[in-house]
Amino acid sequence: MHAGFLNEIKILKSYLPAAPTPEAVQGYIDEIVAGMTDRSPKATGTVMKALWERLGDARASVDKKDVARRVSEALKA
């Protein structure tokens, strides 16, 4: 019975998008911010929107508070 559940879990996980690594998320943030001319705190929404578009379905697996903090720090740099 346990082996059957493990097999089902394995099958279901294969349908989920791969979770991006924190380094990959930071790389996307850095790329987006580097291409911007307006780096004021108002630009946070613009960066977040572009990031969610890049992540696609994988955005469901990232910590949104951590991402918001990273974006805020990137805009200050």
Question: Which one has a higher pLDDT value, 13 or 45?
Answer: 45
- The domains of the chain are located at 19-76
Q: Which residue, 49, 52, 55, is CA-closest to 36?
A: 49
What pTM was estimated for this model as a whole?
A: 0.77
Q: What does pLDDT average to over the chain?
A: 92
What b/e string do you get for 4-15 counting C-beta neighbours within 10 Å, with b at 16 or more? Answer: eeeeeeeeeeee
pLDDT in tens, 37-53: 888 888 999 999 999 99
Mean pLDDT, range 7-36, rounded to an integer: 92
